Every structure is written in structure tokens, then in C-alpha cells.
Structure 1
């Protein structure tokens, strides 16, 4: 279950991305609050305090939104929700450190696939566009797991890979959107695996 504090932090990260990938320090300056008010909850996992209502209101005002109102999804209608992670062919490339981290999480275990999240469908679970999700194809999904699923359109011979929260027997988004639950029927909607790892590249 996502805690209120985790929802707040997911919302703040979405605001940072929405404003062009600005830093927490810049957001604090725009909102006229102390930088540590935002930085400490974001950077210290054990930080006990949630953001106050006043702080949330100031951050929301900077973004032109209401508190806990997530920015609209970006991108065109034809863009996928997630894409397979592409490894660099050049071991000396700038992204090679990221490649090594992904390989390390996948090494030694069969059936582990890395994917790059492109949508905001799970932003209230703290998953944002650009996050790399490690999917274990051998795990059995449990309630509230984040899963990788395929939705088939058989007449069009198309399949879409999506990431959702599993609440048997449905798949749910977690973005504050009005998307309807999708039943898992193992024919048109099939769960491929369970997310059990996440890497957030440095912006």
C-alpha cells in the first residue's frame, strides 16, 4: 500500500519533471520555502515527516495545479507506455555505468527483463517516466504488485505492453486518472511478470 508520504513525494517528483526537470532547490526557490523542506524528504528515505499543507499549496501554485493533482500526461497518442531497455554497444559510452547497473540486476537469474517507463500511469506509486523497471518473468503476481502485462487486440494483430497495479482480478492505474480497471482474462490481457527492481537514472 502506498503511504500518503510516498504519494506526496511521487507528486513532487512529477512536478519537478513537469517543470522541465528542475532541481528540488530551484523548486524551493520558486515556492519561496527552505530548500531542505523538499530536499530532505526526497533524499533521506527515513525522513519521518510528511510535507505540510502549506508547503504542498506553495508547490502546487508554482506548477499551476492543485495539491496532489498530477500534471497531464505528455506525448502523443501513439507513444508506448514502456519500451525495452537498450544497452549501449560501446562499453566506454557515457551511459555504461547505467548499463552495468542494469546488467547487475539481471545477471545470474533467468527471465529478468529491463524496461523503460514512458508514461505517468503509476506515478502515485513513485514510478516516473525514465525509470528503468526490472521485470521478473518467473514470479507469481500477488495483490498490489506492480506487474508487466500485455493487452492484445486480436483483430488488429497488435499487443501493447503496460505496467499496472495488480488487484485481483484487475489491473489498475495509479495516477489519479479515471482509467477503468482492466480484468485479467489470460486471453486478451495476460500478466507477463512482476516488477522487483527499479533504477532511476540521474537527471
Structure 2
């Protein structure tokens, strides 16, 4: 031990949640993809079926699973599935957007979930670990789409 703790493997945590009859969707924030190219920071692409949404995904729309608490004060929580209109890259002020942010210190872009308040994108969070500095819109930040709807699995019992 020596003063160090070991994190439980994510699969073990899922088994515990299943054994207790709880949704394991809250674990999605821990399950980060570390591939190169795009870093799926706040969101990760979602391609599964959503039984509550009967119609298929419309053309020029995309769904992402929320992975961070960047907009928890706006009611968007880790594990939620959010659908975005990929044709709407200049929505009204105050709209939730998904964007690619290219930082000068990294070779890959971060996919971020923010509130559109031109000339910047903002977080709405209670999580002190999330960088709350505004992200300037411009060459290094590209809005990919604007919020259309949210799907949330029932959590707990």
C-alpha cells in the first residue's frame, strides 16, 4: 500500500452497479477514449439505439454521450445522450453547442460541450476540475452543431 490507492477497474465498477440493480451510465465519465486525432473530452460519439426516440437519426444530426460535468448547471449530466443539429453552426446566444477546440500545446482537438455566447463559448459547471475560462471563437475553435434534444436514462430506483 505505502500511502497509495489503486483505482478499481471500470469493468469491476460496472459489475458492482449491475449487481445492485443500478444504471452504470454514471461511469461513462470515467471511460475516456485516449486515441489520437480528436480527444473526446466533454462528449463521445454515440451510435446506439435510443428506444425512447422512435424515429431514426435525421440527416445532418449527430448524437453524443456526455462525459463531463461541463454543463451540469444547465441540466446536462454525464451519461446523457444529446442530439445536435450539425447544420447549425451559428445558433442563437445561450444555445448549447458541441465544438472542436484546437489548443496550441496539443496536436489534437478537444471535443467540448459549451454554451454559445459569441465571441466565446462558456461552461456552466459546479466542477472545479473543469477549466472555466471562456474559449474564444475563431480559427482554433469550430462549432460543430447546436443542441436539439436530450435523452436521459432513468437513474437509480
Shorter-chain TM-score tier:
0.5 to 0.7
Larger Rg: 1
Using structure 1 for the length normalisation, give the TM-score. Answer: 0.51
Distance of 1:76 and 1:84 partners within structure 2: 13
Q: What pairs with 1:54-203 in structure 2 (closer than 5 Å)?
A: 75=30, 80-87=41-48, 99-102=50-53, 104=55, 106=57, 109-139=58-88, 140-153=90-103, 156-176=106-126, 177=128, 179-185=132-138, 187-203=139-155
Please give the alpha-carbon distance, in whole angstroms, between the structure 2 residues aligned to 1:133 and 1:76.
Answer: 17
Cα distance in 2 for residues equivalent to 1:123 and 1:111: 26
> How many residue pairs end up in the alignment?
119
Query: What's the Cα RMSD here?
Result: 2.7
The answer to whether the 8 Å contact 1:105/1:134 transfers is no
Tell me the TM-score normalised to structure 2 length.
0.65
- Extract unaligned runs of 5+ from structure 2: 1-16, 18-28, 35-39
Bigger helix share: 1
Which protein has the bigger strand share? 2
1:6-39 Cα distance to aligned partner (Å, 9 max, x none):
xxxxxxxxxxxxxx9xxxxxxxxxxxxxxxxxxx
**Larger RCO of the pair (alpha carbons < 8 Å, separation 6+):** 2
What do the CA deviations read for 1:159-182 (whole angstroms, capped 9, x no partner)?
111110011111000014461111
Relative to structure 1, is the Cα distance of residues 152 and 102 closer, same or farther in structure 2, using a 3 angstrom cutoff? farther
Cα distance in 2 for partners of 1:105, 1:153 equals 34
